[in-house]
Amino acid sequence: MSGSEQEVTRELPLTEAVEPPRPARARLVLLTGPEAGRTFRLGDEHEAVIGRGPSAQVQIQVAAVSRRHAAIRRSGLREYSIVDLRSSNGTALNGAATFESRLVFGDRITLGQEVELLFEQDDEALDEVLHRQRIEAIGRLAGGVAHDFNNYLGSVLANVHVLEGLDGSTQLSDTEVRAIIDDIRLAASGASALTEQLLDFSRRKRRMDRPTEVSSLVEEVLRLCVPTFRGVVEVDRELEAELVVRGDRAQLSQAVMNLCLNARDAMPDGGRLLVKVERAGRPGHLPPGPGAHGYVRIQVTDNGKGMDEEVRSRVFEPYFTTKGLGRGTGLGLASVHGIVKSHGGDVAVESKVGEGTTFFLYLPMEAAHRFREPTPVPSELATRPRRSTYALVVDSDELFVRGVQRLCEHAGFRVLAASGPAEAIEIATRYRGQVGVVLLDSDVEEQSRTLLRSLCGSARLIGLGEPGPGLDAALEKPEVPSKLADLLAELS
């Protein structure tokens, strides 16, 4: 094969049977309230009623929702519509009141003023593709991530070494000591943020959709990607601020990351990458839908080898790759297409051999408003008077438990520590009625949580990790130190 020829492979089974077309299955994802994230699969029925009555297929127990509030109706294989069933508080589609409207994947349905649902495609095969591609992307990032972690850990260890060498008379208020502590905090926060990005990126389950400022998301993605460029790819940014979309932040990050990593692979000898975020109108071929307030356009441009028309026309097919056997799964761009479509948006690509490639992502923009990412406020950790109640900490990691124990003691709690649920239940039985808060690893099974709840009465159960049933709140582990201090202060 000559150097100018392009190797194209398609990793598929040896035989492909032609199947009759099947209905495009759909699901609703609850976006609001204590059950946010709950999924309702609509199945093959031609009508699914939404309401709080016993006859509703999609039951939502909220007072503002009528017993038979609205219905999702399917006609043919792919046509869906939403119909209000003379509800008390009305139905809206993408912010506009409606009696009956056609649905497209990515639409948002509001029941009354309190309940919001996302209408999306129910495609288990696509879900599996997205998860496999996330794992593949993490592998491609591993070198750069390890480099960043080593920098953070090196900073912590160097500063600890300096602290150990200080004279015994050195005061905590000493300028040098405060500077060292600040540097340790910055390094730990950087490692924590990196860990949180990786965890968020790799999760299989869908998280609750939320407003996301696009330029900050792109910056986070570039922070992960750029270390893998090895200095041979220059990055230009043109990021318009305060453009907000609503969606699954992890999936949107995955889409942008895939494009950036693909651009890197298209420039093996170096080049220039442009990432641009700007507002845009609705692409002409998209039907009116969730983009009532316009669209945010994300542009990713490389000056690499480019694609011919045949390759360009097939780039979004699952398992299609030009990288050769063993060098790629062909899932990256397919997952980009699936993610953007599920958010009510669209993808476009322009490319010319020898000149490079540009991808455009169009995502529905939220109603115009000034948006600010929340800024964490450092908690005051001055020791409070000791309380008569206990904090029960349940986690198998002894080092982590010691850190949480110190935070609890500074908040005035006496601390009981358990390495697992069996020991925690034994301690809770012994100190029945004296435990004010239980901080437990989210891996603890629901049955053990229920038993701890019964033993500890009115104590709050706080998960250290992901949210789950039986918990009053959850603090994801990278965020525990900053947020736990605030929570304990509220309880003091």
**pLDDT tens string 265-300:** 888 888 999 999 999 877 765 555 555 678 899 999
- Residue whose C-alpha is closest to residue 365's, from 428, 455, 281: 281
Least confident stretch, 146-155, 156-165, 228-237, 344-353: 146-155
pLDDT of residue 142: 64
143 vs 219, which has greater pLDDT?
219
pLDDT class of 372 with cuts at 50, 70, 90: very low
Mean pLDDT of the chain: 76
As beta bridge partners, residue 80 has 74, 103
Could you tell me where the DSSP H helices lie in 172-275?
175-202, 214-225, 249-265
Q: What are phi and psi of 118, to 5 degrees?
A: -100, 130
For residue 184, pLDDT over 70 is answered with yes
pLDDT of residue 443: 77
For residue 472, pLDDT over 50 is answered with yes
For residue 484, pLDDT over 80 is answered with no
For residue 338, pLDDT over 80 is answered with no
pLDDT of residue 298: 94
- Residue whose C-alpha is closest to residue 430's, from 471, 392, 459: 392
> What's the pLDDT tens digit per position in 11-48?
444 444 445 455 567 888 887 766 666 788 887 778 88
pLDDT class of 205 with cuts at 50, 70, 90: low
Q: What is the mean pLDDT of residues 79-99?
A: 89
pLDDT class of 135 with cuts at 50, 70, 90: low
Which range of 239-253, 265-279, 399-413 scores highest in mean pLDDT? It is 265-279
Please state, in angstroms and rounded to a whole number, the distance separating the CA atoms of residues 63 and 47: 23
470 vs 418, which has greater pLDDT?
418
pLDDT of residue 141: 64
CA atoms within 13 A on the CB side of 489: 12
The owner of tokens 């039986």 is 470
Q: What are phi and psi of 206, to 5 degrees?
A: -75, 135
Q: At what angle do helices 124-164 and 249-265 cross, to 10 degrees?
A: 80
For residue 444, pLDDT over 60 is answered with yes
Please state, in angstroms and rounded to a whole number, the distance separating the CA atoms of residues 81 and 69: 14
User: What is the largest distance, in Å, between two alpha-carbon atoms of the chain?
Assistant: 81
pLDDT of residue 12: 42
| Buried/exposed 399-412: b ≥16 CB within 10 Å, e otherwise | eebeebbebbbbbb
> What type of residue sits at position 164?
E
For residue 481, pLDDT over 80 is answered with no
Which range of 123-137, 173-187, 274-288, 441-455 scores highest in mean pLDDT? It is 441-455
Q: What is the mean pLDDT of residues 307-317?
A: 75
**Secondary structure tally for the chain: helices H, strands E:** 10, 25
pLDDT of residue 296: 92
Contact 245, 277 (CB under 8 A): no
For residue 99, pLDDT over 70 is answered with yes
192 vs 147, which has greater pLDDT?
192
Query: How distant is the alpha carbon of residue 480 from its chain centre?
Result: 18
For residue 8, pLDDT over 60 is answered with no
User: What domains does the chain contain, in order, with CATH numbers?
Assistant: 26-122 (2.60.200.20), 127-364 (3.30.565.10), 390-491 (3.40.50.2300)
373 vs 237, which has greater pLDDT?
237
Please state, in angstroms and rounded to a whole number, the distance separating the CA atoms of residues 239 and 299: 10
Q: What is the mean pLDDT of residues 230-255?
A: 85
For residue 172, pLDDT over 90 is answered with no
Q: What is the mean pLDDT of residues 250-264?
A: 84
Q: What is the mean pLDDT of residues 205-221?
A: 78
pLDDT of residue 385: 42
Residue 208: Cβ-neighbour burial (10 angstroms; 0-12, 13-18, 19+): middle
For residue 380, pLDDT over 90 is answered with no
As beta bridge partners, residue 198 has none
Least confident stretch, 47-51, 156-160, 221-225: 156-160
- Sign of torsion over alpha carbons 50, 56, 61, 65: positive
Q: What is the mean pLDDT of residues 470-475?
A: 79
User: What are the residues whose beta carbons fall under 8 Å from the beta carbon of 224, sequence distance 6 or more?
Assistant: 141, 144, 145, 194, 197, 257
